[in-house]
């Protein structure tokens, strides 16, 4: 006799921008140590589309519209000896962002490709210290004068 399988409904959403695909590295839980698209369990009363959008936002901070979603597949995954079957709803979406996000280590920031004022106030930003500042620019690259003052409150 084969045991009845419990069905777990999951979403999996891949965000594409041109020739690049956004992946997330799973730090914990099922699939730990693997790169994947974003997704998770569909809640009771939730549509798979709403779950796909919610999971993407929760896991990456990226927000996409309902109408941008393209449903590509329904896949079933069975693991031998498991009493659970994974039903994965696969989606893709294309984004056209004005900014291209990228994480930098705080000791390796690309100041030569940032605004000239940034290197002056970044130490306070990184230390989360409050400040007021004023910068005067001669041109887009050159600061003629500035001041920065730490404050207790803004
Ligand atoms: P949480 O446990 O994080 O949801 N997922 C799979 N993705 C791929 N590419 N292959 C598989 O083959 C997968 N099995 C599950 C679906 C799990 C997430 O992992 C995906 C969900 O997005 C076995 O809530």
Structural domain boundaries of the chain? 6-93, 111-150
Specify whether the CB–CB gap between 78 and 5 falls below 8 A: yes
pLDDT for residue 143: 98
Between CA 17 and CA 96 the distance in angstroms is 6
CATH architecture type of domain 6-93:
Alpha-Beta Complex (3.90)
Q: Is any ligand 1 atom within 6 A of the Cβ of residue 48?
A: no
- Ligand 1 atom with the smallest distance to the CA of 77 is 23
Distance (angstroms) between ligand 1 centre and the Cα of 84 equals 13
Between CA 41 and CA 51 the distance in angstroms is 7
Q: Tell me: the pLDDT tens digits for 105-115?
A: 999 999 999 99
ipTM of predicted complex: 0.98
Residue 97's pLDDT band (cuts 50, 70, 90): confident
- Choosing from 21, 23, 30 the residue with most ligand 1 atoms within 8 A of its CB, the one to mutate for a pocket test is 30
pLDDT for residue 1: 53
pTM for the model stands at 0.84
94-117 in b/e burial notation, b at 16+ Cβ within 10 A? Answer: eeeeeeeeeeeeeeeeeeeeeebb
Q: What is the mean pLDDT of residues 1-23?
A: 90
């Amino acid at each position: 006799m084969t045991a009845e399988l419990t069905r777990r409904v999951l979403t999996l959403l891949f965000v594409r921008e041109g020739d690049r695909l956004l992946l997330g590295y799973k730090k914990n839980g099922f699939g730990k140590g693997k790169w994947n698209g974003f997704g998770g369990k569909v809640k009771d009363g939730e549509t798979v589309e709403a779950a796909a959008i919610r999971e993407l936002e929760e896991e990456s901070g990226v927000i996409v519209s309902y109408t941008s979603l393209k449903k590509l597949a329904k896949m079933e995954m069975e693991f031998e000896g498991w009493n659970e079957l994974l039903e994965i709803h696969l989606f893709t979406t294309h984004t056209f962002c004005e900014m291209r996000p990228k994480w930098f280590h705080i000791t390796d920031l690309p100041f030569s490709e940032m605004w000239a004022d940034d290197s002056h106030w970044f130490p306070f930003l990184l230390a989360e210290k409050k400040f007021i500042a004023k910068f005067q620019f001669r041109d887009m690259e050159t600061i003629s004068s500035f001041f920065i003052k730490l404050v207790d409150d803004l």
